[in-house]
Amino acid sequence: MWELEEKITGMVKKYLADTNAMTIQGWKALEQLGLDHRCGGIKVSVDGNYVATRNNRSIEYYGGWEYIDASFKMDAGEYCFYDGEASRPKSVIDEVKDLLENGWVYDSNKAMFVNPNEEPEKEAINE
């Protein structure tokens, strides 16, 4: 039984990597995507057209994703995958896609999307 669990975990990790899933966490980034920060960290794949989470209870409660039909979600290993054909995951995927197409990048140190083409705000100099 543990062998099966190990194989599934390996396959899920490979799938996440193969579909270029981005790990997004932090209240600023989640709110940039239209999610309540209490939804917790997510993985978003524009290529695979899905949102995955390890904590589906939080995203279902705080994100209203409990209303997503069961045909659009699947548990695999430690993750619950939500198909981008459902409206709520689609809006998150579309927002990530839009940000990336407009030159924004996810800065994991700041836990938010930033536009590297914009100059950072200058701090006031105290003299």
On the question of pLDDT at 122 being above 70, the answer is no
Domain count, the chain: 1
Q: Is residue 125 one of the residues assigned to a domain?
A: no
Is 123 within a domain? no
Structure tokens at 51: 């949102």
The residue range of the domain holding 100 is 2-112
Q: Is residue 104 part of a domain?
A: yes
Q: How many CB atoms lie within 10 A of CB 27?
A: 14
Whole-prediction pTM value?
A: 0.88
Do strands 79-83 and 105-107 pair parallel, antiparallel, or not at all (unpaired)? unpaired
In a domain, 121, yes or no: no
One-letter identity of residue 117:
N
Residue 94 within any structural domain of the chain: yes
Q: Check residue 26 and report its DSSP letter.
A: S
> Is 27 part of any domain?
yes
127, pLDDT greater than 70: no
Domain-located, residue 108: yes
Render pLDDT for 95-106 as a digit per residue (tens, 0 to 9).
Answer: 999 999 999 999
Looking at residues 79-94, what average pLDDT do you find? 97
Whether 124 maps to a domain, the answer reads no
d(CA 2, CA 29): 36
